[in-house]
Amino acid sequence: MDRWSIDKAKAWWADTGWVCGFNFLPSTAVNFLEMWHRDTFDRATIERELGWASGLGFNSLRVNLHYLVWKHDSDGLIERLEWLMATADSLGLRTVPCFFDDCGFGGIEPLYGPQPDPVPGVHNSRAVASPGRAALLNGTDWDGYERYVREIIRSFQADPRVLFWDIYNEPGNRMIFRANGSETYEPDFSAQSLALMRDSFAWARAEDPYQPLAVAAWVTPVPGSTGNPYQTTIDQAALLLSDIVTFHAYLDNANVQRFISYLDNMNRPMLCTEWMARPVGSKIDDQLAMFQSSNVGCFQWGLVKGRTQTNLPWPADLVAQHGGVADRSVWFHDMFDETGRAYDPKEAAFLKHVLSSPDP
């Protein structure tokens, strides 16, 4: 199977309508491994929190899977994904599953089993990569990665509840968030990430899914940068392999619009699969209507404040690079607290108003 034609991608988008969603981890999960593990898959919390999202008018969610859960409990992972998609569908939400993820911000390798409690005061302190950064460098489980991708796509190959398949989240991301408010970096494993991304596209296409495939360009141009926004070989490859254009943009409105204009040259449907970080100017009241009027789909980061602690800021230097200040009095991500109360009722009301208006 080849990459979708531009005409096929545009026809899919015309049938889909404008997409506005969120990245989802239930508040009781410290990372995606804990979310999907059979002992900690919290159906009651998931159903309750997806209900809050539906009440605002969201129509989609993006969620990472985890390779280790599939490796130890493949039937269980597929059953739990089926349940989540059925629950989401009953609330008017379509699902974007993501297979792999290099965001091991916690700085430890993933282990199947109980997950540690969050590190106090640290954003996403127990985030673990999938399959894991060391596993990528080791490279001994490649056959398992193929079976994982192909089995899950085969299980939902023509399922309309799947909006599209997100093959890989932020391939090559080497960052670690430290308790002292700084960030450090792992040794470079981007060659392995690129190889896994390319192979995963091939494995997925071999299953001939009904839905499009994508990987986001995530190394977005920071404020004041010039030149080619595709700053990595991985981003360039991701955009050329994907059926639709997806990207991440934790930037202020002007810089997001600049990036959209650049990506629009690809002449394909476009979705921002991560955005919304208040202290860097990525705000709902500034950008949501812009995404809608531009017919660019969007998935904000976070829904409910919880064990990931993504209401707390990134490391201060990273926030500054994106034009902001790490102000802990302002929630970085997320919409609700654990009781369902909106962090900012005016912001929630504005979002609900935009989502109730006609598609662009």
Strand 175-177 to 183-185 pairing: antiparallel
- CATH number of the domain at 62, please: 3.20.20.80
* Structural contact between residues 171 and 93, judged by C-beta atoms closer than 8 angstroms: no
* Structural contact between residues 35 and 70, judged by C-beta atoms closer than 8 angstroms: no
Can you give the pLDDT at residue 223? Answer: 63
**In the structure, how many helices (H) and strands (E) does the chain have?**
12, 10
Average pLDDT, the chain: 96
- Which whole-number Å values give the CA distances from 39 to 56, 172, 184, 255, in the listed order? 30, 30, 32, 43
Reported as a single tens digit per residue, the pLDDT across 284-335 is: 999 999 999 999 999 999 999 999 999 999 999 999 988 899 999 999 999 9
> Does residue 131 have a cis bond before it (omega within 30 degrees)?
yes
Can you give the pLDDT at residue 64? Answer: 98
pTM of this prediction? Answer: 0.97
The number of CA neighbours under 13 Å toward the Cβ of 50 is 26
Overall domain count for the chain: 1
- The pLDDT of 68-78, averaged and rounded, is 98
The answer to whether residue 1 is domain-embedded is no
DSSP 100: E
Distance CA 125, CA 23 (A): 17
- The pLDDT of 181-204, averaged and rounded, is 97
What range does the domain containing 204 cover?
Answer: 6-356
Percentage of residues in the chain having pLDDT higher than 90: 93
Residue 56 pLDDT exceeds 70: yes
The answer to whether residue 68 is domain-embedded is yes
